[in-house]
Structure 1
């Protein structure tokens, strides 16, 4: 990490990372979680307070090394994250985001919780989707639907705003061309939705075919 020889910079960086990892958890609540954590140093539990945590986050004091295992365990982050070696809370998430361009939320959805027992199932399903002959069509329809729906909703909201700004509803004079434009965009969105539903039907048919082939091959 840049500035690794500068103690103050290290303290401030680690403090900022700790605060980011804490997120919406209140300091007193995090203190209790840390104290109750099995990796917490027994001899230092009495010294762990919200004020101490605050000084760590502000970079005024160095985070005690003995507390780092408990911090990482409670906040589900790697030690490397606390040192600022990578932007996401784990190396795995950071690598996925860096290589694929996916968001952290998408990366987390892919791998899930390594301890929940469903990671292999997620990976198996994603492997099928990504190599499916029909998935590219589904991706195209998803983008087309988002664009068409966004345009339709934007026009509808603009019309609603125009009407809401009128002092008297009787003053409203429908703009025929504008209403036709809304109808066109809505029809386009509905068509994309229909095509998207068909794309996923094809995916199901493809999955059934693959399963049938696998069962046949296995006797």
Structure 2
């Protein structure tokens, strides 16, 4: 449903729907539209309650609302159930996911497409097998090329070994079934990398690691 939206504004809203949350700069780098085009689009969306604006780290951040997602018509749910602003941990995790997608998009150019966790959730819901609140252990995003489908986890906080192991067992199953070909873990803390590597060795799954500090050097969210 594109009622009342120009093609450019539809594309801006569509990017925000896929990400769930983003800054003007992130949308600009994912669409190649100039800042003023995005700014005026977001201003219109905010007036129509298609998005919600809040400030964090002295910058404007935008969330898709349920109404905004329904205008696109693919996912049909907002960034958060009650449309409250996220806490800082969720905000920063979301920003680093977006920055990682942009990093890989620049690396792959036109050779890859990306699926966000929100899109994966919508696919599962559409199959009628699970409700949204029942869905767990999805990657933060997926990179798909002609030959590969890589699940990517952005892991910022240390978790219990049992929880990591359970997640890796699921990924091993998905890789065997052909749902994914590779698993990538992006991290900041060496302690997290060591824990994931140990659990992966125990499970018998190969994991590729990426250091967020090196990938996103100088980025405000790192």
TM range (shorter): under 0.3
Q: When you count helix as a share of all residues, which structure comes out higher?
A: 1
More strand by share: 2
TM-score scaled to structure 1, two decimals?
A: 0.21
Q: Which has the larger radius of gyration?
A: 1
TM-score (norm 2): 0.21
